[in-house]
Amino acid sequence: MTKSSDILLDKEIRTGGFYELAIQVCHSIDNEPIRHYTEFIWSLENVIGPFDVNNNPIPVDIANIQHIGVLQLENYAIPFMTYNIREEEPIETGFNWFDICFYATAIEKVFGAEYQTWTENPKVPEQLKMFFAKTLKELYKIYPFQLAILDYEVSGQYYLDNLKTPLTYGWTPSSFFVGKDNYKHISKDNRKFVSIIEDIFNE
């Protein structure tokens, strides 16, 4: 398993799909929450970066839609990126999304081939689970997002409104996270897939 930040230079593992935390933050007309989220992630002590796709240092700026770097988790170092998407058609009803993305290939290379996050029953390293849980709490404190989704290649696949009616799938869907105020609007059939952010604060 690779444990060096030099892994950022390994372009072979920066290919394919992402295991990601995708967050439906707020309406597109308000960019401040995205700025705060971006600044928070890239100010963490265990984060190196950000860089552009050619590994050149770049400023933390939401005008740079994509920020690439390395996350240190215990003795492991793994490349990741943040990505912000602004839906602009129309801007009054579109949403700002903030994604924290890890290449599935990188997860397997760094933590071990058994950690396959792209399968129907993904196996996620405990270090990454803890990072996602802590990050969810902190981002929600900064700005209470509408919906967070954790899964492989899930960004933009669901919106909060989609959960207000029963999801009809033959497999276990993604993990969803909402605040208490939004949870009461979630279809009862979907609640088994949805966690309340405030409950995570107590774990």
Domain ranges for the chain: 5-200
Does the pLDDT of residue 52 top 60, yes or no? Answer: yes
pLDDT, tens only, 57-93: 999 998 888 999 999 998 899 999 999 988 877 666 7
What is the pTM for the complete model shown?
A: 0.89
Tokens of 124: 């996620």
Closest CA to 80 of 141, 120, 132: 132
Quick check: 134 and 203 in contact, CB under 8 A? no
What is the predicted pLDDT for the residue at 171?
Answer: 56
pLDDT, tens only, 82-122: 999 888 776 667 899 999 999 999 999 999 999 999 888 88
Sequence letter at residue 59 = P
Q: How far apart are CA 171 and CA 111, in angstroms?
A: 26
What is the predicted pLDDT for the residue at 168?
Answer: 74
pLDDT, tens only, 6-23: 666 666 677 678 999 999
| Residues ≥6 apart with Cβ < 8 Å to 144 | 179, 197
Long-range contacts of 80-89 (CB under 8 A, 24+ apart): 80/106, 82/37, 82/38, 82/41, 82/42, 82/50, 83/155, 84/34, 84/37, 84/38, 85/155, 85/156, 86/28, 86/31, 86/34, 87/28, 88/28
